[in-house]
Structure 1
Amino acid sequence: MGGTDPVRGGGDGTMGASEASGGPPEGAAVALVDRRGIVAGWSRAAEGLLERPADEVLGRSVLRLLAEERHVRLPEDGEVVLRHGDFGTVAVRYWAQELQGSGFTLVLAVGSGRAAGAEQAEAVFRALLAQDRLGFILRDADLAVLRTNVLPGEFGGPPQVVGSVLSEVMDGADAARTEETLREVLETGRPLAAQEQHVRSFRPPHHEWSLSYSAVRTEDHEGHPTGVAVFLTDATEHWRAAQRAELRHRASAGVGNSLDIERTAQEIADTLVPRFADLAWVDLADAVLAGEEPPKNTAGGDLLLRRVAVRSADGPWPDQLLPVGATVPPFPDRPMVREVQEGRTIRIDRRAVEELLGDPAHVRLAAPEGGHSLIIAPLFARALLLGAVGVWRAERPDPFEEDDAELLTEIAAQAALSVDNARRYTREHRAVDSLQRRLLPQASTTTRVMETTGSYVPAEAGAEIGGDWFDAIALPSLRTGLVVGDVFGSGLHATATMGRLRTAVQTLADLELAPDEVLTQLDTLVARLAAEAEPGHRDTVGATCLVALHDPVTRCCVMASAGHPPPILALPDGPAHAVDLQPGPPLGVGGLPFETATVDMPPGSVLALYTDGLLRRYAPDLDAATRHLADRLSRLQRSEKRLPSLSRGLMAGGDGTPFLDDAALLLARPSALAPGDVASWEFPAEPDAVGAARNAANEKLTEWGLEGNAFVTELIVSELVTNAVRHAGGPIGLRLIRGELLYCEVTDPSNTQPRLRRARTTDEGGRGLFLVAQLSRRWGSRYGQNGKTIWAEQELVEDFPE
């Protein structure tokens, strides 16, 4: 041995070169050698490695274990070939370390193959730990960190500390979810590949990450699980880019689907919460809500805004914040406010908000409890500030970043175009709606024998105004014309066509034509309008129309339809049903006659005329919708006697479907005309008929207490009956009707139109109709199936002057 140590380790207590490779693997053979090289200790692992029991080795030189004996000192570590059993050899890798103060050296050895595997494993460890793009975490059976390269500043995810567990480095919910997944790997041995995990740190500075991780179970040499090796990559940027892309898509698809301004504003808020922010609000200028352009204001802190839409991730909008409908208080005139007025986005924290506003009451209105980060993006279009979008983060710990501000700017710019489109549509919609309503008659009319109420509801926002209309026309002899129609198409041209048709109906009403004749004339007019239209629009010019004529004397209503739904008649104490009416073609089609139907309308009954826009609110199928409308009218009539309330009830009925088309409704309820208010006679076409008619009229006026009308009535009766005797023949009918006015009618079998002319001073006749025109309030004629009727109206004179 020469007094020298055959095996010497590092004198400083380290493993020497073995430390660089991480030292011997677990379960190595161990021998204790004194300064002379004599084996003083021999482990069971050593017995197994060389197949030599301790009694054969202890007390002998360690050099005798070499396959080739050498009397030199062995290096501190290396590879040698040892004797194995009686005749064999085995290559081993050994490490030596001097035990200070004892005079002994500890030698550890393993088979060379196993040592190579350990070195390779350690090399892999070192390579993994040196990565800055691939995270590696070795966890033990309790999922505590053994070795890792996920340290502060060295990896994108939350930093890991040796000995830490998941709940110490990430949010509790995220930790529980990840731990459950890793324990499954540990228990089953099934590896996990490319698992996505969203991670939030709960300690400042707060961040969010998206990690893609894989995990495999680690085992000892006997196959027992010892822990989990986790490999992860930072997918945060990809995740955020995907989030931004998704939010852009949601904004593109979800904002601007409606041409209603307030609904568009709500779509903006709904898009941003909860995916982007915890709270969002949208403020718009009052002028924008009215459809007008906002004022160009780039100075001062009053943005002239009103809160239109809000959204909170937690549910209800916080009570202390500015509510929907409230005016936004003026801001101090600061550069930050001017930036918004000029169309630039600002990103600030709560402290900056408090410094900007100053007033604690204003801060409470603007900043939610716990809100720490705010972005305000202007809704800027055509160099006009339409409003602003604000988003807060309160529950989320991470503040908004510059990328978030750029994203909101992009979304707000796109949304501003939708808001501006809705604003311009609102302006046009209101203009057309105003024109439409101005063209319609007054909603309610009341005469002695008829009460009517009309209702018109434009299509819901997002659809253009159409050409639905209704009319109630007071005709001579207490008769009433009822009209409802629906022009094809929508917009200004439909409204203009409706105005022309309503004017035509008013004119035809003065001619006192029958309902089918009125439709025939309207059909000709619509055909003329279609011929005047541009070639591409001729097929779109048309209308449906229903005309009804009520006579209080006969208590009958005659009606005709041009492609229009039949009216519904509700009797006073009976059910409501659609009138059996055969509709003709729509106006403008031509070629077919229009048929009439006559129904009895006792006093107190209700006749409902409507357009198909109302039916579609009750059911898609028009026949089913008509039945539902009739049932509702029947139910409402039993409890509601006022026509305006009855009309509102019918308009509000149905399944709640929005009015996708204009809807018009006209309700008419006749009143009783006392039998004593009507007197009629019939005379032969003889000269004596004039005196007899005059006397009969005078007696009836005396009975009615209208002696003040007797003189004028006698003259009118004399002139009209005289003309009938001379020019028309008999029989001659005379009828007096007492209502708001006194009506005098003379009927004859001739269809000759009476003409008013001025007689010359030398003429012996020709002054009859001139006198009638001068003495009456108005006069006219109408034609029936057999002859004509000339009528004249007078104001009632109940007090006869003495």
Structure 2
Amino acid sequence: MTGSASAKGDGPNAGARETVDEAATARVRVDGHGVVTAWNDGARRLLGHRASEVVGRNVTLLLPDVGATEVPRSLADLPRWSGTVTLLHRDGRRLPVELLAHRSQNDGDGWLLVSAVTRPARGPADDAFVQRGFTHSPCTMALYDTGLRLRRANGDMERAMGLSEEAMRGLRVTEIVVDPESERTEAGMRRVLETGRPQELGAALQLAGHERQSVWTVSLAPVWDTIGRLEGVLLSAHDVTEQHLARQRLVLLNDASVRIGSTLDLARTAQELADVAVPRFADFVTVDLLPAIEGGEDPPQGPPHGPVRLRRVAYQSVLEGCPEAVVRRGIVAAYPAGCTAAECLASGRPIIEHLTPAALAEVERQTPQRAERMRRFGFHSVLAVPMRARGLTLGVATFSRHRQPKLFEQDDLLLGEEITARAAVCIDNARRYTRERSISLALQSSLLPQQLPEQAALDVASRYLPASSRAGVGGDWFDVIPLSGARVALVVGDVVGHGIQASATMGRLRTAVRTLADIDLPPDELLVHLDDLINRLAGAADSTAVTAGDVGATCLYAVYDPVSRHCTVARAGHPVPALVTPDGTVDFLDVPAGPPLGLGGLPFESTELKLDEGSLLVLYTDGLVGVRGHDIDEGIDALRDVLRRPTDNLEVTCDALLRTMLTDGPSDDVALLVARTRALDASHVATWQVPPDPAMVGPARKNASRQLSEWGLDEAAFVTELVVSELVTNAIRYAEPPIELRLIHDRTLICEVSDGSTTAPHLRRARTFDEGGRGLLLVAQLTQGWGTRQTTNGKIIWAEQALPAEPSPA
């Protein structure tokens, strides 16, 4: 029958299968109870029993001297056993058999028993067989005598060396391969001869006829004769170049993941990519980015087509000074359509270009200067990889080789793509961070005071420094708020966190402080209201999931009165202010700490002290004293040392503080407010007690008019008399004694009337036929501001009017 091949004889290995004599080995399976479960033809040939006579019976029928329970027990703890066993032949003969027993992989209690039925004899043919095995071994092998001269080499050794055995016979390793690694190998061979122990070596060789360096593992083993004398050394080597390159790629990838993206600085991240790739991956690397991304903006959608303009951000070379670079850092260069970089960006895929004479001629046609550098330094292979992240094309990384002889291959393309992708994500993170930082800085700058208001109570200087790019913009702020009665409030605060959210929260808090200051709340009460606001913001953030993390802040609020020279201070978890007295003594005020804003329900306490005129108050955020890597107490001590060297110029004092405290730049935002106190003496303040009698309104009006004349403010007399009449009349009619009238001559003219009642008046519109109700409306119309503030024993109603402009000199 023709036209089909049987399964037994079909296939490339059919002949090999047919030559295997399965019956040449006795194979028996025994389960955990000692019962025979399988019996092959080799077992029948060895012991004479047919399978039907043995399978299903206990193996003890083959063991004339061992009981049924002894065999499993003797093998119970062994994965494998070998030795000579006496077995019983079917005809009753006792046969000594070399037996190998394997524990079953599928049945832990079962065993596979094997024994060779016939064993090949050794002889001349066997020696020839061994010799042929040596010659055709896939392992590179060579045999050296005790003089370290080559005696035999197999075919793989001949192929590796590019020499025949005849050409190498009688030569030493150092004469076959002239390389420092061969000297190490020969030294290892000497150690084998001296110690009789094997040696293991690794070697990287540039063999003749090979384009690239190859990496080998070398085993050196002693060769002994039949009486134990050392005859020579057997060298066997394995080419592990591919495994070595794979390990190098993994090491490079791991290094890239650690070193690239250590900061959120765009240029530094690009330079880290170049530094990682040289020299292990390429000899020269450039990183060019689209100019649009440098300000944090999104680049145009889709890959660029045609000529493209790129800014050189980073490069690195194996040569000192990067002489290969045509374009220097920061320069924007044009890349014509069809060049490697432009084509790579247009296609969105990495490109390998081998610089053949034709390819170099094309480069010279487009950019002659680049072609000249390529020829001068011997560029032979270029890999360009587009930098893409989150669907955006950011630029291109170009890897070039001119010292490494190996051309870029597919594996190199994958590796270059991988490390570039990692760098692209980090660069995009830096771009996004740059954009958010710019927005945060712009927002924070718009929310901070553009200039400090004019007031007579304090001389003030301030500074604000955003954190370095590594930390991000925070929510530090300061403010100077003029209050009624010539008083001034000083505020410094610090919002938890960084970024746009911190800046926005800071803006809300600053607005809230100004609003609460406008109603003349005491410092401790003002902090209570701020705490409530922070809690409401935190609740809104939790319900809308707009804000990540907690909403919190610290704050210090101080009010200084230049008339009494009293200063009232309260703080919510904020660093204590420093006080420098006129004699140069530096102290840090003992103000109760209070909890940070946002904890809710906890009280705040204020401290009141009297300051000498010319005292210096220094308010700051923790970024000034909590410098990274230093204890905060060290920062406090350094601040004290600077303040002990006083200067009349507050701007100079601010600069000295920042220069001394922040030698490496701010690791956190810094807000600094330095204020020198002034005092309004008796010549600027006039006070009268007013009996609670309506007849006293007239005398009060006359006293005010007389005082204005002494101050040379006769032009303000009409309005002032009207304001005094209204405020004193209301105090006598509706309030409680004691009643006091006070005039303050500052940048403005302030009229204050205090009484013992806590009831505040309200501005209302009088109807046509009402006899009263127009007084406060008239005061509001004639002055630039009026209001009420509570005191310990009552309230004060005040009105402020601008002073007449002084006539200009003729």
| 1:297 positional shift | 6.3
Distance (Å, rounded) in 2 between the aligned partners of 1:126 and 1:760: 127
Q: Confirm or deny: 8 A CA contact 1:371 1:393 kept in the other structure.
A: yes
Q: Following the alignment from structure 2 to structure 1, what is the Cα–Cα distance between the partners of residues 343 and 782?
A: 76
Check if 1:524 corresponds to 2:532.
yes
Are residues 141 and 727 of structure 1, via their aligned partners in 2, closer, same or farther at CA, if it must alter by over 3 Å?
Answer: same
* Structure 2: distance between partners of 1:722 and 1:441: 40
Superposed CA deviations along residues 614-645 of structure 1, whole A, max 9, x for unmatched, are: 544255655x255245336426x547944387
Return the offset for 1:232: 0.8
Q: Tell me the secondary structure at the aligned position of residue 627 of structure 2.
A: helix
Q: More deviation in 150-159 or 229-238?
A: 150-159
- Partners of 1:729 and 1:157 lie apart in 2 by 117
Partner residue of 2:218?
213
Deviations 1:10-39 (A, max 9, x none): xxxxxxxxxxxxxxxxxxxxxxxxxxxxxx
How many angstroms apart in 2 are the aligned matches of 1:157 and 1:426?
58
> Is the counterpart of residue 393 in structure 1 residue 401 in structure 2?
yes
**TM-score of the two chains, using structure 1 as the length reference:** 0.73
The 8 Å contact of residues 708 and 800 in structure 1, kept in 2 or not, is answered as no
Residue identity matched to 1:547: Y
1:654-690 superposed Cα distances (whole Å, 9 cap, x missing partner): 585973xx53413131253453662222223245654
Residue 631, structure 1, aligned to residue 640, structure 2: yes
C-alpha separation between the residues in 1 aligned to 2:324 and 2:637?
43
- Residue 721 of structure 2: aligned partner: 714
Q: Kindly provide the amino acid, as one letter, of the partner of residue 574 in structure 1.
A: G
CA distance in 2, matches of 1:454, 1:364: 57
Instruction: Return the match for 1:792 from 799, 802, 808.
Output: 799
Paired residue for 1:682, among 679, 685, 688?
688
Aligned mates of 2:504, 2:470 — CA distance in 1? 20
Instruction: Determine the C-alpha separation between the residues in 1 that align with 2:155 and 2:484.
Output: 97
TM-score (norm 2): 0.72
Given the alignment, which residue of 781, 789, 806 partners 1:774? 781
2:163, 2:782 → 1: CA distance? Answer: 103
Secondary structure at the residue paired with 2:661?
coil
Provide the rounded CA distance (Å) in 2 between the counterparts of 1:529 and 1:505.
Answer: 15
Q: Is the 8 A contact 2:148 2:172 kept in 1?
A: yes
Distance of aligned partners of 1:276 and 1:773 in 2 relative to their CA distance in 1, 3 Å threshold = same
Residue 654 of structure 2 aligns to a residue in which SS?
A: helix
Does structure 1 residue 269 correspond to structure 2 residue 279? no
1:475 and 2:468 aligned: no
Structure 1 residues 226 and 743: CA distance shift in structure 2, 3 A = farther
Greater C-alpha Rg = 1
2:346 pairs with 1:337: no
Equivalent position to 2:620, from 610, 615, 620: 610
Query: What is the deviation of 1:270?
Result: 3.6
Deviation at 1:596, TM superposition (A): 0.4
**Superposed counterparts of 1:630-779, under 5 Å:** 630-631=639-640, 633-634=642-643, 638=646, 641-643=649-651, 646=654, 649-650=657-658, 653=661, 656=664, 659=667, 663-673=669-679, 675=681, 678-685=684-691, 686=693, 689-760=696-767, 762-779=769-786
Report the alpha carbon displacement of residue 733 of structure 1 after superposing the two structures with TM: 3.1
The CA deviation at 1:775 is 1.8
Query: Does the 8 A contact of 2:383 with 2:399 survive in 1?
Result: yes
Q: 1:317 to 1:694 in 2, by over 3 A?
A: farther
**Which aligned pairs between 1:109-508 and structure 2 lie closer than 5 A?**
127-131=133-137, 133-138=138-143, 148-149=153-154, 154-155=159-160, 162=168, 173-175=180-182, 177-185=184-192, 188-193=195-200, 195-200=201-206, 206-216=211-221, 229-256=234-261, 258-296=263-301, 298=303, 302-313=307-318, 317-318=322-323, 320=325, 322-334=327-339, 337-349=342-354, 352=359, 355-358=362-365, 359-363=367-371, 369=377, 371-442=379-450, 444=452, 447-458=455-466, 461=469, 466-488=474-496, 493-508=501-516
Q: Is the Cα–Cα contact under 8 Å of residues 453 and 481 in structure 2 kept in the other structure?
A: no
Please report how far the alpha carbon of residue 404 of structure 1 lies from its aligned counterpart in structure 2 after TM superposition: 1.0
1:79-129 Cα offsets, whole Å, 9 max, x none, are xxxxxxxxxxxxxxxxxxxxxxxxxxxxxxxxxxxxx99999998676544
The aligned amino acid for 1:440 is: L
More moved, 275-284 vs 169-178:
169-178
Q: Which moved more, 1:382-391 or 1:314-323?
A: 314-323
Q: Shift of the alpha carbon at 1:726? A: 3.4
One-letter code aligned to 2:595:
P
| Alignment check: 8 A CA contact 1:618 1:655 kept | no
Q: How many residues align?
A: 680
8 Å Cα contact 1:283-1:305 kept in structure 2 = yes
SS at match of 1:617: coil
State the alpha-carbon separation in 1 of the partners of residues 328 and 230 from structure 2: 59
Q: Is contact 2:341–2:396 with CA below 8 Å preserved after alignment?
A: no
Please identify, of 714-723 and 557-566, the stretch whose mean Cα deviation from structure 2 is larger.
Answer: 714-723
> SS of 1:753's equivalent?
coil
Query: 1:386 is matched by which residue type in structure 2?
Result: L
RMSD in angstroms over aligned alpha carbons? 4.2
Amino acid at match of 1:567: P
| Cα distance change on mapping 1:174 and 1:385 into 2, 3 Å | farther
* Residue 592 (structure 1) aligns with: 602
C-alpha deviations, 1:174-198, integer Å up to 9, x for none? 45544544454455554312x2222
SS at match of 2:718: helix
**Pairwise CA distance, 1:604:** 5.0
- Name the amino acid aligned to 1:286: P
Over 3 Å counting, the alpha-carbon distance change for 1:760 and 1:336 in structure 2 is closer
Deviations for 1:207-234, whole angstroms, at most 9, x for unmatched residues?
Answer: 1211000124679999998975422110
Q: Indicate yes or no: 2:590 matched with 1:580.
A: yes
* Mapped partners of 2:185, 2:241: distance in 1: 17
Question: Quick one: which of 552, 568, 572 aligns to 2:562?
Answer: 552
Contact kept in structure 1, 2:326 and 2:369, CA below 8 Å: no
**Distance of 1:645 and 1:164 partners within structure 2:** 83
Quick one: distance in 2 between partners of 1:711 and 1:171? 112
Equivalent residue, structure 2, for 1:113: none
**Secondary structure at the counterpart of residue 563 of structure 2:** coil
SS in 1 for 2:732: helix
What is the rounded CA distance, in whole Å, between the counterparts of 1:509 and 1:428 in structure 2?
32
Map Cα deviations across residues 376-414 of structure 1 (whole Å, 9 max, x no partner): 211123553211222233443433333212221233234
One-letter amino acid of the counterpart of residue 782, structure 1: R
Identity over aligned pairs, percent? 41
Deviations 1:566-602 (A, max 9, x none): 2233445535443211122333434333110124454
| Structure 2: segments with no counterpart, 5+ residues | 1-121
Q: Which amino acid letter does the alignment assign opposite residue 549 of structure 1?
A: V
CA contact (8 A) 1:251 1:271 kept: yes
Seen in structure 2, the aligned counterparts of structure 1 residues 719 and 387 have a Cα distance that, compared at 3 Å, is same
Contact 1:560 1:596 in 2 (8 A): yes
Moved more, 484-493 or 497-506: 484-493
Check conservation: 1:166, 1:179, Cα contact below 8 A: yes
Task: Return the alpha-carbon distance in structure 1 between the equivalents of residues 694 and 209 of structure 2.
Answer: 116
Distance 1:334 1:360, change over 3 A: closer
User: How far does residue 354 in structure 1 lie from its aligned partner after superposition?
Assistant: 6.7
Q: Quick check: 2:344–2:385 contact (8 Å CA) kept in 1?
A: no
Cα distance change of structure 1 residues 606 and 157 upon mapping to structure 2, 3 Å threshold: farther
